[in-house]
Amino acid sequence: MLLEKPTPNRLRRFACMMYEGVLLFGVIFLAAYLFDTLTQSRTGLTFRAGRQAVVFAAIGIYFLACWRYGGQTLPMKTWNVRLIDRDGKTPPFARLLFRYLLLWIVPLVFASIIWMLVQITTYSSIYMLIVFAPFTLFVWTWFDADKQFLHDRLLGTRLISV
């Protein structure tokens, strides 16, 4: 069944990713607003680690809910992309959770490299390269036979065109 469904091209996945970023702005804004209201924090530096944890959880809930019930987020529906497992079905919740956690690894490694470069060179302008961190997910697709992301390859999930 997997051979019948083509993999969406990189441009479509990139467009989906950009659209996802626009929607995530609302998710992040709402989560941070609720956190700030409940903790009465007046600046972004107050309870910073707690805010980051809440935002990380809110983004995770958004993706897990969308992937679990239909295999698509709104941008994925717009660009006709669906997440499936090896059997062509919606992956189980545990696999979706691992997918969400694994997809952060490559961008965080790139961000760590940027941080180390700043520490070594003392040129803080290198921090500007952090904007490329999310796009490092696409590097693996150039080497994968099916052009899938690394986290999808490791977990047996895949994005397909519908």
Which residues is 77 bridged to in the sheet? Answer: none
**pLDDT band at residue 122 under the 50/70/90 scheme:** very high
Residue 61, C-beta contacts closer than 8 angstroms, at least 6 positions apart:
none
> For residues 67 and 44, which has the higher predicted lDDT (pLDDT)?
67
User: What pLDDT, on the 0 to 100 scale, is given for residue 2?
Assistant: 44
**pLDDT band at residue 44 under the 50/70/90 scheme:** confident
Q: What is the mean pLDDT of residues 15-37?
A: 96
d(CA 67, CA 41): 33
Q: What is the mean pLDDT of residues 34-48?
A: 88
Which tokens sit at 77? 């529906």
User: What pLDDT, on the 0 to 100 scale, is given for residue 16?
Assistant: 96
**pLDDT band at residue 76 under the 50/70/90 scheme:** very high
User: What pLDDT, on the 0 to 100 scale, is given for residue 27?
Assistant: 97
Q: What is the mean pLDDT of residues 143-152?
A: 94
Whether this prediction's pTM lies above 0.75 is answered by yes
User: 151 and 11 in contact (C-beta within 8 Å)?
Assistant: no
**pLDDT band at residue 1 under the 50/70/90 scheme:** very low
Q: What is the mean pLDDT of residues 63-73?
A: 95
